[in-house]
Amino acid sequence: MNNTDNDQNEIKEIFSMTPDGVERAISVLWDECKRRASSCEMCALYATRKTVVFGEGDESSKLMFIGEGPGESEDESGRPFIGRAGQLLTQILQAAGIDRREVYITNVVKCRPPGNRTPLPEEEAACDALLQTQILLIKPAIMVLLGSTPTKWILKTTEGITKLRGRWFDWRGIAVMPMFHPSYLLRYSSDKKQGGPKHLSWLDIQEVRRQWDLVRETGMTEGLNFGR
């Protein structure tokens, strides 16, 4: 069988819309999205990045985490949340009984802003097609927005993270919770007082875990708190 036959068989399979066809279509879209990201020059960040940090984790997970953008370690390695803040995120998840490998993690922008500055609105806008495609393909039931940047970008709000964290929002039928970014928590590493950022984040992740248990156990979203 030559390549053309293979391509035609693949297209026939996809358009048959059988479960196998749908799965194949999703896989083709993932490949295309990753291919486009790997050589993307849609915003100025392409000029200073070392690696495009697309995202990682379970691509069929119902629980998705979205941060701001890659830092230095992420830019070097091509993996999201692996520097000090990422290690803290992994520890927070572990402490709450969530395995990092069972969730999907990405950022609003896939290339490192120089000096770890906040991404500019035009950079967020340029990268949004990639993020929206990821959300579309993953179809999460729950999304956690880590810090102010993804919270403002996704929820289109100007309210600060301190006001919004720990609350559920309904975003296109997905239960969304903003939390403090782990890099913010690193500044409070020795602060364990009640009502402090670390304590509040612990409460938030337990609430995420409570909702995640509902989805994990039933595969359904009935009973989820959408903050309505």
Q: Which residues contact 139 (CB under 8 A, 6 or more apart)?
A: 62
The answer to the question of residue 53 lying near ligand SF4 (CB under 6 A) is no
Among 33, 92, 105, 109, the residue binding ligand SF4 under the rule CB under 6 A is: 109
Using the rule CB under 6 A, give the single segment among 34-42, 60-68, 87-95, 135-143 that binds ligand SF4: 34-42
Residue 123 binds to ligand SF4 (criterion: CB under 6 A): yes
Nearer to ligand SF4, 48 or 218 (CB): 48
- Torsional sign, CA 112, 116, 117, 121: positive
Q: Residue 50, Cβ neighbours under 10 Å: how many?
A: 14
Question: Would you tell me how many other CB atoms lie within 10 Å of the CB of residue 184?
Answer: 18
CA distance linking residue 36 with residue 32, whole number of Å: 6
Q: Which of 14, 33, 52, 64 binds ligand SF4 (CB under 6 A)?
A: 52
Taking the CB of residue 6, how many other CB atoms lie within 10 A of it?
A: 10
Q: Do you know the residue count of the chain?
A: 228
DSSP bridge partners of 177 = 144
Q: Which stretch binds ligand SF4 (CB under 6 A): 12-20, 37-45, 85-93, 138-146?
A: 37-45
Contact residue for ligand SF4 among 37, 82, 146, 161 (CB under 6 A)? 37
Q: Is 68 in the site for ligand SF4 (CB under 6 A)?
A: no
Window of 38-46, 74-82, 136-144, 180-188 that interacts with ligand SF4 by CB under 6 A: 38-46
- Asked whether 103 and 65 are in contact (CB, 8 A), the reply is yes
40 in contact with ligand SF4 (CB under 6 A): yes
Q: Are 45 and 109 in contact (CB under 8 A)?
A: yes
45 is a site residue for ligand SF4 (CB under 6 A): yes
Helix, strand, coil percent values for the chain (each to nearest 5):
50, 10, 35
Provide, rounded to whole angstroms, the least separation between the CB of residue 121 and ligand SF4. Answer: 12
Which residue stretch of 35-43, 78-86, 136-144, 182-190 sits at the interface with ligand SF4 (rule: CB under 6 A)?
35-43
> Which residues of the shown chain bind ligand SF4 in the complex (CB under 6 A)?
37, 40-43, 45-46, 52, 109-111, 123, 126-127
